[in-house]
Amino acid sequence: MALDEVSFALEPAEFVGYVGLNGAGKTTTMKILAGILRPTSGTVSVLGYTPWQRKREFLRRIGFVMGQKRQLWWDLPAADFYSYLQALYAIPNDKYKETLGRMAEMLAVDDLLDVPVRNLSLGERAKVELIAALLHDPDVVFLDEPTLGMDVLAQKSMRAFFSEYNRQFGKTMLLTTHSLSDVEALCSRIIIIHEGRILWDGSISELLRRYEDRRLVRLRVERDGAIEDVAVEVPKGEVGRVLSEWSSLGRVLEYREEGLRLEGVLAHMLGGDS
């Protein structure tokens, strides 16, 4: 069973992270919400529509961004493809120019729209592709690994855009990603799915508070002439034991203790630790 009693609701303009291990059911959920897949049972409502009925009015009001999935034509400038999308979605000219202008400015690609797509860098192509996915001004946006394969600077740029887009346009957004930095930067609420079932649906801050009794201990230890970096997650009361054990194995050069971040919490939850 791909999804087992999965149930949640999103508020208008909410930005929610939807995370889990590979095969947990994230993309299956997204495809059902977008009407690409039809579930064997259960009910789904997006903007008042049943997604898999694929009504034209529904499709005009959603956007689906998938990392490294391309729709722009390789030999044409993005501006030419945007004109095609304007006709396809029957976007009024004033609305088209306003939306395109705002997004091009936010992504800093004003001077790239007339350049053939094949001549753009990977990061530049990702930005003009993103505009193509959002040009029809959808009310709900599904983001499936939108920063996949990007370098650190490109990821930072895309995060800034998604945050500003959500704030300026007030769109409802659901994000699946393995980059927990994306989730921490963009979302206040997180849904964790594991083996088709939801383990957590709530605020990130509340989730972190539930694990405040655990610590991540980072050590730099010299053993037999070699330097070793070590990270150990333990209950708060066992930090001293960890330090003692590693001190007996070598010379502790550096030591740092910190609360668990989202990555550590998920590793703890999904790893099955008690």
> What does each C-alpha distance from 63 to 10, 33, 35, 104 come to in angstroms?
15, 11, 11, 17
First-last CA distance in the chain: 25
Q: Where does a domain end: 208, 226, 242? A: 208
- 122-134 and 152-169 helices, crossing angle to 10°: 20
Q: Are residues 171 and 233 in the same domain?
A: no
The answer to whether residue 85 sits within a structural domain is: yes
Looking at the structure, tell me whether residues 137 and 228 fall in a common domain.
no
Residue 211 has φ and ψ, to the nearest 5°, of -115, 20
User: What contacts 51, CB < 8 A, 6 or more positions away?
Assistant: 32, 33, 34, 35, 44, 58
Is 140 in the same domain as 158? yes
Euclidean distance between CA atoms 141 and 261, whole angstroms: 27
The whole-angstrom separation of Cα 58 and Cα 66 is 19
Give residue 238's pLDDT: 87
Is 146 domain-assigned?
Answer: yes
H or E element in which residue 239 lies: helix 239-249
In a domain? residue 249: yes
With respect to residue 248, please indicate whether it lies within any of the assigned structural domains.
yes
Residue position matching structure tokens 């053939």: 116
49 and 122 share a domain?
yes
What is the pairing mode between strands 226-235 and 214-223?
antiparallel
Domain termination site, one of 208, 230, 246: 208
Longest dimension (CA), the chain: 72
In this structure, is residue 10 part of a structural domain? no
Reduced DSSP (H G I as helix, E B as strand, rest coil) percent helix, strand, coil of the chain, to 5: 40, 25, 35
Residue 76 lies in a domain: yes
Domain encompassing residue 246: 211-270
Per-residue pLDDT of the chain (274 residues; tens, 9 = 90+): 899 999 999 999 999 999 999 899 999 999 999 999 999 999 999 999 999 999 999 999 999 998 767 889 989 999 999 999 999 999 999 999 999 999 999 999 999 999 999 999 888 888 999 999 999 999 999 999 888 878 888 888 889 999 999 998 999 999 998 888 899 999 999 999 999 999 999 999 999 888 888 888 889 999 888 999 988 888 888 888 888 988 888 888 888 888 888 888 888 888 754 3
Q: What are phi and psi of 65, to 5 degrees?
A: -110, 120
Q: Domains in the chain: how many in total?
A: 2
- Three-state SS for 96? helix
Out of 160, 178, 208, a domain closes at 208
Residues 203 and 222 in one domain: no
Model pLDDT, residue 231: 86
- In-domain check, residue 5: no
pLDDT at 186: 94
Amino acid 242 reads: V
83 and 118 share one domain: yes
Residue 160 sits in the same domain as residue 194? yes
Question: In this structure, are 150 and 232 located in the same domain?
Answer: no
**Do residues 217 and 198 share a domain?**
no
**Do 153 and 252 share a structural domain?**
no
223 to 232, 250, 255: CA distances (angstroms): 17, 5, 15
CATH code of residue 38: 3.40.50.300
Q: How far is CA 156 from the centre of its chain?
A: 12
Does residue 2 fall inside a structural domain? no
Single pTM value for the model: 0.84
Residues 77 and 143 in one domain: yes
At 222 the three-state DSSP class reads strand
Does residue 245 sit in the same domain as residue 198?
no
Whether 253 and 222 have beta carbons less than 8 Å apart is answered as: yes
Q: What residue type is assigned to position 210 of the chain? A: R
**What per-residue confidence (pLDDT) applies to 109?**
93
